Amino acid sequence: MSENKEIDIKPRSREVTDGANRAPARAMLRAVGMKEEDFSKAQVGVASSWNEVTPCNLPLDALAKRCKEGVSNAG
């Protein structure tokens, strides 16, 4: 039997955004463009090791940008 449990979509983001003691963090995030409705969503970071040192890393910048677009488009 499987139980139908609700999934917490922002278990780690909550540590940064929820509660009165996180007001300074929310203020900083608003300053960089987050809107009130964004605080109910999970925060997703896209990191890239792109650099110009080796040819194999050159496409990573474009790949990271596409990933960021995908996350943004997904809401």
pLDDT score, position 2:
61
Residue range 10-35: average pLDDT? Answer: 92
What is the average pLDDT score of the chain? 90
11-48 exposure pattern, b = at least 16 Cβ within 10 A, e = fewer? eebeeebeeeeeeeebeebeeeeeeeeebeeeeeeeee
pLDDT score, position 14:
87
Contact 42, 13 (CB under 8 A): yes
Distance, CA of 17 to CA of 27 (rounded, Å): 10
Q: Where are the domains of the chain?
A: 1-43, 44-75
Distance, CA of 15 to CA of 13 (rounded, Å): 5
Residue range 13-37: average pLDDT? Answer: 93
pLDDT score, position 9:
81
